[in-house]
Structure 1
Amino acid sequence: MGAGVTVDRLAELLVSHFGAPADRVAGGVTFEELEFDSLALVELAMVAQKEFGVEVDEQEFTPEQSVAGAARLIDSRRAAS
């Protein structure tokens, strides 16, 4: 699965599970810009683990990280497994 597909799936999760505004969710936007606090990022890590079937430590998603950066992390975990 390519990063573009993962970005799209992750964007869908951000909108459907977290109520992020669909018009603001793009690969280059950071979680901070989406107003995700540390609790939301922990929850996102858990949701991503279920959705993508990979281990994501709750501290690996940071406010400064972009959606595309998170997708690359997920893809790298999928490739390693």
Structure 2
Amino acid sequence: DNPDSDLDLLLIGDFRGSPYLRAREVRELLRRYPIRIDLHLVTPEEVAGESRKPHGFLSSVLASGRILYKKAGKGYC
């Protein structure tokens, strides 16, 4: 999404608040790494709505991205 980032990281969870506020704490944790990360925190409801858009960002990520961790019993992707 951001041409200056080295990595796009999508986290799906039961987040609250605005996308910026959701990501603030995670961004602080990731600052120690020498890589530019474009962080996306979305709820399962947002994934369901956006995944219906064939050319949307989430559709692209869900089709071609790699799952790094999936909590047992969660079926978000």
Interval of TM-score (by shorter of Structure 1 and Structure 2) = under 0.3
TM-score of the pair, normalised by structure 1: 0.26
| Bigger-Rg structure (1/2) | 2
Q: Whose strand proportion is higher, 1 or 2?
A: 2
Q: Whose helix proportion is higher, 1 or 2?
A: 1
